Structure 1
Amino acid sequence: MSYTGPGFEPPQPRRSRRGPLTVALAALVPGALLGWAVYAAAGGSGDDEAAGTPTVSASASPRTSSAAPSASAGEGKPTGSSTAKPPAASGALEGKVVVIDPGHNPTNFEHTAEINRQVDIGTNRKECDTTGTSTNDGYAEAEFTLDVAHRMRALLEKQGATVKLTQDEDRPFGPCVDERARIGNKAGADAVVSIHADGSGTGNRGFHVILPGAVDAGGADTRAIVEPSADLGARIAGDFVRVTGSAPSNYIGGGTGLVTRKDLGGLNLSTVPKVFIECGNMRDSKDAALLTSGAWRQKAAQGISDGIVSFLRG
């Protein structure tokens, strides 16, 4: 996903007001970073490269293959269980609605005219969708996002949640970013998470969670969801570190794993708590090795799901 566009903001220092959310974020994010530090010291899969000069650009490329680059991409079939953390009691999320938004679509590249159509995102107009990025060996972001979404669905349904996907490779392209937001709104979702992987430069590693900024323009008004979305995002970031051992991004977010943006239609047009997560950088060989591993994708699904569960249970 691109980091250019109107309204893109790097994380800003928070005001000194210490409300309940401030306390929660202060507890969650440092704890997550400490968890990663312990994991990395023990030889885990965290970032072991020196952080390069931060960049704010990402070049997306069309999907070149629907197949993973090696057998490791197919290992570890989606399951509803994990040994990373004991599951909550059965039915703990009964009555809760979660919408999972797998970024892009595996056949978007066949419908360039349709996905290049401009749609209203409140602050301005943007493309309906993009092709997404891929690893250097051709494993497409759209394949990755669907796989993680399926694994998350199994985990969350096991705990009683009603889970809806914005797309399940059941349409030729899209949906457009404005429709993705409407799907979550119409479902009355208690939480929405959009799954992505980045396409930044080599040496840029790690994950980051994108939070909605305060927008009140055109058909967009995120003011009511900014705080609950920040809570959701912080919990996901903390559990993602704990379960996967991956480090927060070394090129954006100032080491927090959290970034605020106002230029994404999927966030701007949401009326329910929603975040994006960029699970890693497909253009870095070390991150790509994780993203193409079925076992690691199961951990990613578990970490994101655990964050959602924590948010929904309060």
Structure 2
Amino acid sequence: MSYDESHLSARRRPLSRLTLTLAAAAVVPGAFAGWLIWQATGGSDDGGPAGLPAQGASASASADPSQRPGSSGPEPRPSGPESPSKPASGDDAAPGDARPAPGDGPLAGRTVVIDPGHNPGNFKHTAEINKLVDIGTNRKECDTTGTSGNSGYTEAEFTADVSQRLRTLLRKEGATVKLTHENDRAWGPCVDERAEIGNKAGADAVISIHADGSAAGNRGFHVILPALVKSGGADTSKIVAPSRDLGERIAGNFVRTTGSAPSNYLGGGTGLDVRDDLGGLNLSTVPKVFIECGNMRDTKDIALLTSADWRQKAAQGMADGISSFLNR
């Protein structure tokens, strides 16, 4: 399972292309230019047929990555660093970070929280991450192990790498950037704590980075938006609209920088999916989205996810979308 929680009972609310196109034209005409061109030309010629996502592929994965299901063919190992060195905490500069002087840059004074999906230690702490926490609407697991490619490259490795690349890019724009974790803890944090980190930071934008674990042939990225939820401790009424704006800008720029097509199995070709079952969104009081960058179980998508060059493009697309949202 690639999300921070199980989606076995998720309600899908696919958006029409017409609705999204009109919204894009009104809100972010520049960001969606690449997307509209892709749709006008009939889409990617290497996208697989639409299908249903595999359910529970990683939520019930063994603590040992080598015991996960194999594949029918070889899979590339990641290029570039697979396990990024642990950077400094908070907004202290990490090795290689280049930032403008305080107060400089178009994002000066803005705070962005990046949530790297899952923790590589979750596999060794299944009892802890299976503990139920309150997500407002009900109680769900603290977290999941995340998914992996068929050759063992884990979602947690991928998200840590992309998150650090994204932080560097946003810092260069002058933003204050915080990560929910930096592989500096044995497991977690739980999904409710991840949401609270963004809330306490008073973040102007939060992005939770993931990769999917669906069936082979299911390809492409999708951005998950919060649904309108008012239940228990959850009230997303104030963040639904700005989160949609943030998600649309990230999706459009992700297409432009990576060349990847929107998901062929979720979102009706829009690259957007609305959900009401994710605690990380339900409990957020600041604009927040999830992004599933690709399917780790598809041979073509995993070839992208394991490429350092592509991961840099992915981070750039996210940074451009966030910058566009914060400078709107």
**Which residue of 2 is the match for residue 307 of structure 1?**
321
Instruction: Give 1:103 deviation, angstroms.
Output: 0.3
Give how far 1:6 is off: 4.3
Task: Indicate how the Cα distance of structure 1 residues 37 and 73 shifts in structure 2: closer, same or farther if over 3 A, else same.
Answer: farther
1:254-265 alignment, distance < 5 Å? 254-265=268-279
Q: One-letter code of the match for 1:305?
A: A
Q: How does 1:100-119 map to 2 (within 5 A)?
A: 100-119=114-133
Q: Deviations over 1:189-243 (max 9, x none)?
A: 0000000000000000000000000000000000100000000000000000000
For 2:191, give the aligned amino acid: V
1:21-170 map, 5 Å: 23-24=26-27, 27=29, 31-36=33-38, 46=44, 48-55=46-53, 57=55, 59-60=57-58, 61-62=61-62, 64=65, 70=77, 72-74=79-81, 91-170=105-184
How far apart in 2 are the matches of 1:71 and 1:311?
A: 31
Separation in 1, partners of 2:18, 2:308: 41
d(CA) in 2 for partners of 1:266 and 1:192?
10
The residue correspondences of 1:165-180 to structure 2 (distance < 5 A) are 165-180=179-194
Q: Name the Cα RMSD after superposition.
A: 3.0
Question: 2: CA distance between counterparts of 1:293 and 1:36?
Answer: 22
**Cα shift at 1:56:** 6.5
Aligned equivalent of 2:12:
9
Range that drifts further, 286-295 or 5-14: 5-14
| Matched position secondary structure for 2:120 | coil
**Runs of 4+ residues deviating >6 angstroms:** 19-22, 38-41, 77-81
Contact 1:35–1:241, Cα closer than 8 Å, also in 2:
no
CA drift at 1:187: 0.1
Aligned residues: 298
Superposed, 1:236-275 pairs within 5 Å as: 236-275=250-289
Structure 1 letter corresponding to 2:47: E
Letter in 1 for 2:11: F
1:190 aligns with 2:204: yes
> Does the 8 Å CA contact 2:32/2:253 hold for their aligned counterparts?
no
Once the two structures are TM-superposed, the CA of residue 7 in structure 1 deviates from its matched residue by 5.1
**Could you say what secondary structure the match of 1:100 adopts?**
strand
Q: How far has the Cα of 1:9 moved from its partner?
A: 2.3
Q: Deviations over 1:114-167 (max 9, x none)?
A: 000000001111000000000001000000000000000100001100000000
The answer to whether the Cα contact below 8 Å between 1:101 and 1:149 also exists between their aligned partners in 2 is yes
Alpha-carbon distance, 1:40 to partner = 9.3
Give the deviation of 1:73 after TM superposition.
4.7
Structure 2 unaligned segments of length 5 or more: list them.
67-74, 85-94
**Secondary structure class of the residue paired with 1:133:** coil
What CA distance in whole angstroms lies between the structure 2 residues aligned with 1:39 and 1:292? 27
Q: Distance in 2 between matches of 1:152 and 1:222?
A: 26
The letter of the residue matching 1:257 is G
Give the TM-score, by structure 1 length: 0.86
- The secondary structure found in structure 2 opposite 1:9 is coil
Identical columns (%): 62
TM-score normalised over the length of structure 2? 0.82
CA distance in 1: counterparts of 2:18 and 2:304, whole angstroms: 36
Distance 1:151 1:35, change over 3 A: farther
SS at match of 2:268: coil
Distance 1:290 1:273 in 2: 28
Render the CA deviation track for 1:242-280: whole Å, top value 9, x for unaligned: 000000000111000000000000000000000000000
Specify the code of the residue in structure 2 equivalent to 1:49.
Answer: G
Counterpart secondary structure, 1:303:
helix
The CA distance in 2 between the partners of 1:148 and 1:247, in whole Å, is 19
Give the secondary-structure state (helix, strand or coil) at the position aligned to 1:193.
Answer: strand
Does 2:239 align with 1:225? yes
1:11: Cα distance to partner? Answer: 1.7
1:178 & 1:139 partners in 2: Cα distance? 26
Gaps of 5+ in 1: 82-88
Contact 1:35 1:242 in 2 (8 A): no
Distance change (3 Å), C-alpha of 1:214 and 1:28: farther
